[in-house]
Structure 1
Amino acid sequence: MQIISYNDLKNIVNTGDVISIAALSVGNLPVEILKHLVEEYDETRVPDNITFIIANDISDYTDGYDLDSFVKRGMVKRLITSLLTASPVTINAIKNNEIEAYFYPQGVIATQYRNHSDSSPGVITKIGLNTNVDPRSSGGKVNDITDEDLVSLLEIKGKEYLHYDFPGVDVALLRGTYADEKGNIFMTHEAHLGEGYNAAAATRNNGGKVVVQVKEIVQSGNFRSTDVFIPGELVDYVVVNKNPEYHKQVMQTYYDPALSGDYRVNDIQAQFIELSSRKIILRRSAQFLNEGNVVSIGFGINNELSNLLIEEQVEDLVQLNIDTGVFGGVIGSKNNFGMNYNLDARMRHDMTWDFIYNGGLDIAYLSFAEIDRFGNVNVSSFGNKMSGSGGFIDISQTVKTIIFSGTLVVGSETICENNQLIIEREGESHKFVENVQNVDFNAAYSRELNQQVFYVTERAVFELVDEGLKLIEIAPGLDLQKEILEKMDFVPLISDELKIMDEDIYQNNWGKLKQSIKN
């Protein structure tokens, strides 16, 4: 291990390199390294023609030393990622065919590094079959200039698999809290552990270089050997952060010891959700929970499920999981995303996907952008929006029960009176369409996997059956034809035993989730 200055980076990162970053938002993001690379480009016009491999969404939310800063300078040739929500410049560049781009399942990207060895042919998995990632569809290619096939279809013992062929990594740009004198990396203050270990190992195996940004160099022996996250043998260079703004734990703060699990906050207050369509959807969705369930919480509306469980005093009856490696505790939502307190456990990002792939989850709560008459779901590309699906495909193809949650119509406004739902202003854009623009969840394949699938809105609940989407419940007070069927682009199957949704969830105070879960 060699301690270097940021100016030395110009001798390490070269034009045409494949670069790996293992971060989530600003967490684990080596912002000061990125800052010096773009400043070097501004002076010398190198490096450029870069390929980035990034499992998760990243952004520094300050001066713009992140993915967008590279793309707007024309430094990027290709991007391989799962999710883009905080990089508007990059999204526009993809839409305008200015850079090549692939959207792949997050878990596949996070775990693929371990397959970069002489003994492995790359990633061979069923994850992504029969979705847009499948080469019989787009193969994960996002725009017209992206033409190289990185995923192919295989048959092994009569069963179909996908083979992902990721490029080898030339430089891993990683972050830790401390490095000791031998180069061992410790994640003491980090809110998430990430997949940095496997990224470092794959990079070294490829003959590449591993660079880690840390807060400080500490004397060897100051920390327990069991706390080493990346051993020094896998680290080539360490740079020491000079400005706290470029080494923030999460976007809201430089360092909060409770977020790294150093102590528990006993008086923390979760922000309860006001009575609204969101709360109604969350309440009805939560009624599918059983005591002891291991629950995957997806991004979007379901990120607030933790708040509802705390409000209903049932958070101890189930075990929450976020695919970043977070188990239990208070899960941050909206602007507090990533601020997770009182965790039961946190794991490396890649290890969390091992847990998920091996049947660790009982039920998953996922969002949707579009649903069609077959029950297929699009979450990644619709209208003029392009975001990728994150871990949606990985989770939806491995879990036993799936609850898709969202409003029936975009932009409608509702109120609740006398335990009934009232549509005050009707929305314009339908989410239940004849055919989805992009298949992130394949309903027919789900039936082959024997999954239970429900679609929960504030107005109605649907179930996936062999014949397609079946309406099984409607909200109290609504007209079936006018306020549900006419707001869909197709007529679903309708249950012969069509029920009224639980009227109690349409009032300010509920208090019945514990009974529901225990029963």
Structure 2
Amino acid sequence: MRLVSVAEAVASIRDSATVAVDGFTMMGVAEAVYQGIEESFRGRGHPRDLVVVHAAGQSNRRQGFEHFAQEGLVRRIVGSHWGLMPRMSAFLGAGLAEAVCLPQGQLSTLYRAIAAGRPGNLSRIGLGTFVDPRIQGGKVNEPARQHAPDYVELITLRGDDFLLYRSFPVDVGIIRATAVDEDGNASQEEEAVTLDALAIAESAHNSGGVVICQAKRLVKRGEIAPRQVAVPAAMIDLVVHTPDPQTQHRQTDRTLFDPVFVSAAPDHLDLPRAEFSARLTIGRRAVRFLHRDDVVNIGTGIPGDTIGPALAEAGLAGAVTLTIESGVYGGVPQGGVDFGITAHPSAIIPHAAQFDFYNGGGLDATFMGAGQVDREGNVNVSLLGGRVIGAGGFIDITQSARMVCFCLAFEGRNPKFVERVDHLTFSAAQARRNKQDVIYVTERAVFHLADSGLELVEVAPGVDVRKDVLGQIPFPVQVKEPLVTMAPDIFQQSVAPFELQPAAR
């Protein structure tokens, strides 16, 4: 291990290198190194033509991955989500670099396959979506379709279809640590999530590459207990002591460091409430599909804003286990640019381990937003209005949860129900093959995924089915008889007490 300046670390990155970087929103992001890469390129023109790989979205709309949105600095981005990166999203949408979008969980677990020398990561996740090589193979802009290699391969094994996410050498790994000792051992005790630092370091080291670690603090030999070592010294080549932790090494975007994000609650913890609104009515209806003791994932947008509050106001916050794909269990979820963490979590496990649990069927239910829904029940969240957004963990989660509940506003600036989605992020046909229960909840009506497509199963009190629902959707929808009216208290200031049904396991 060698202690170096930011400039010296950046100088070790050769042109055309494949660089794997760690982070989730701004958690775990080596901001000083990213900033140094941009400054070096602007000043010297190097490094250039990089292939940058990232499992999760890493930005607060200003910093983080936005540093890479420079023409000539990168030639290809292989990642999962650019929703909090306006410059990078526009950069990729304009075709200024190749854009390859792969599921977050598959990228996270792929680092371990690379480290272990395996040919790739074999999974059913992604079948029937834009990631499937029979559709786009994850190549979401024209430069990628013309020039990017195939990262995904269709494999038939024992008569079943799988996707092989192909391994590739990692030339540079960039990770972050709370502390690094004199030998080079790194700890992450103040980091709000345990992401992919170890797997990235292993994959770069075993590829013959360089591992750069940004450290908030330098400590004496022996100050980091062996159990606290997140990445051993043998895997780290260069250590950068963060020049300005206040701006370059924050625990979260909003916080330099707050122990609530790495500490258990001393007593019973309740979720925050929300003011009554049309959005809250969506969450109120959605939570009533849950069963007691369900393990649940909550996505951003309407679910993130309403599911927790809807459970809290019903006194049911402790009836289910809330999780986030970053690896966090329990606690009070944070939103916006701090999505991915909770205050007073009950557990924090590694990123890839969380996706192993999800992909293997550990999730009972997930609540996700939806940008577009079509006549077949397909959903698009990854390419909206021509904007390259990506899917994040959406595909991993919606293809593996037993119940998938999409929460969306019936009315909005752009039509939600369309004849055909612009991008296939959720495949209704694959969900039927997986025997998943799929529900679409709006403030006006509830739909279920049936064999022939969407089926209207519930409406809000006072809604005219023909005029207010069916007449507003540009394709025919079958209606289940008898059509149910949603509970009236969902649309009132306070809800009546109710219980979740026991899980049918």
> Is contact 1:131-1:439 (8 Å) kept?
yes
**Which structure 2 residues correspond to residues 20-419 of structure 1 after superposition, within 5 A?**
20-59=20-59, 64-117=62-115, 119-146=117-144, 147=146, 148-244=149-245, 245-261=247-263, 264=265, 270-304=271-305, 305-334=307-336, 337-411=339-413
Among 454, 459, 463, the alignment partner of 1:478 is 463
* AA aligned opposite 2:285: R
The answer to whether the aligner puts 1:6 opposite 2:10 as a matched pair is no
SS at match of 2:392: coil
Displacement of 1:306 in angstroms is 2.0
* AA aligned opposite 1:275: F
Among 434, 448, 461, the alignment partner of 2:446 is 461
> Is contact 2:25-2:339 (8 Å) kept?
no
Scaled by the length of structure 1, the TM-score of the pair is 0.92
> Is contact 1:250-1:338 (8 Å) kept?
no
Displacement of 1:242 in angstroms is 1.8
For residues 207 and 167 of structure 2, the distance between their equivalents in structure 1, rounded to whole angstroms, comes to 12
Could you say what the CA RMSD is over the residues aligned between the two structures, in angstroms?
A: 1.8
SS at match of 1:358: helix
Scaled by the length of structure 2, the TM-score of the pair is 0.95
Aligned to 1:441: 426
Structure 1 pair 290–268 and aligned structure 2 pair: CA distance change class (3 A): closer
> Is contact 1:67-1:87 (8 Å) kept?
yes
Displacement of 1:73 in angstroms is 4.9
Displacement of 1:349 in angstroms is 0.6
SS at match of 1:482: helix
Count the aligned residue pairs: 498
> Is contact 1:216-1:240 (8 Å) kept?
yes
SS at match of 1:90: helix
Identical aligned pairs, as a percentage?
Answer: 32
Displacement of 1:184 in angstroms is 1.3
* AA aligned opposite 2:394: F
Displacement of 1:165 in angstroms is 1.9
> Is contact 1:133-1:140 (8 Å) kept?
yes
SS at match of 1:473: strand
SS at match of 2:466: helix
For residues 292 and 12 of structure 1, the distance between their equivalents in structure 2, rounded to whole angstroms, comes to 50
Structure 1 pair 181–98 and aligned structure 2 pair: CA distance change class (3 A): same
Aligned to 1:506: 491
* AA aligned opposite 1:33: V
Q: Larger deviation: 145-154 or 50-59?
A: 145-154
> Is contact 1:103-1:389 (8 Å) kept?
yes
Displacement of 1:14 in angstroms is 1.2
Q: Larger deviation: 300-309 or 122-131?
A: 300-309
For residues 116 and 314 of structure 2, the distance between their equivalents in structure 1, rounded to whole angstroms, comes to 52
For residues 119 and 233 of structure 2, the distance between their equivalents in structure 1, rounded to whole angstroms, comes to 27
Question: C-alpha offsets along residues 169-196 of structure 1, whole Å, 9 cap, x if unaligned?
Answer: 1111110100112211111111111111
For residues 10 and 69 of structure 1, the distance between their equivalents in structure 2, rounded to whole angstroms, comes to 13
Displacement of 1:298 in angstroms is 1.2
For residues 454 and 71 of structure 1, the distance between their equivalents in structure 2, rounded to whole angstroms, comes to 37
> Is contact 1:9-1:37 (8 Å) kept?
no
SS at match of 2:333: coil
Question: C-alpha offsets along residues 229-275 of structure 1, whole Å, 9 cap, x if unaligned?
Answer: 111111111111121210000010110011122x5365987542221
> Is contact 2:444-2:469 (8 Å) kept?
yes
> Is contact 2:283-2:310 (8 Å) kept?
yes
Question: C-alpha offsets along residues 313-348 of structure 1, whole Å, 9 cap, x if unaligned?
Answer: 211110011000010111112465345112110011
For residues 277 and 236 of structure 1, the distance between their equivalents in structure 2, rounded to whole angstroms, comes to 53
Question: C-alpha offsets along residues 74-132 of structure 1, whole Å, 9 cap, x if unaligned?
Answer: 31100011111122221112121110011111100111011115751112211101111
Structure 1 pair 267–473 and aligned structure 2 pair: CA distance change class (3 A): closer
Aligned to 1:450: 435
Aligned to 1:423: none
* AA aligned opposite 2:208: G
For residues 226 and 217 of structure 1, the distance between their equivalents in structure 2, rounded to whole angstroms, comes to 18
Structure 1 pair 236–84 and aligned structure 2 pair: CA distance change class (3 A): same
SS at match of 1:215: strand
Is there any run of 5+ residues in structure 2 with no aligned partner, and where?
Answer: none
Question: C-alpha offsets along residues 38-82 of structure 1, whole Å, 9 cap, x if unaligned?
Answer: 222222111110111011111255xx5533222235311000111
* AA aligned opposite 1:182: D
Question: C-alpha offsets along residues 469-510 of structure 1, whole Å, 9 cap, x if unaligned?
Answer: 100001101111111112111121100111111111100011
Question: C-alpha offsets along residues 345-399 of structure 1, whole Å, 9 cap, x if unaligned?
Answer: 0011111111112221111111111111111111111223321111111111111
> Is contact 2:130-2:423 (8 Å) kept?
yes
For residues 366 and 44 of structure 2, the distance between their equivalents in structure 1, rounded to whole angstroms, comes to 48
Aligned to 2:479: 494
* AA aligned opposite 1:93: F
For residues 249 and 486 of structure 2, the distance between their equivalents in structure 1, rounded to whole angstroms, comes to 48
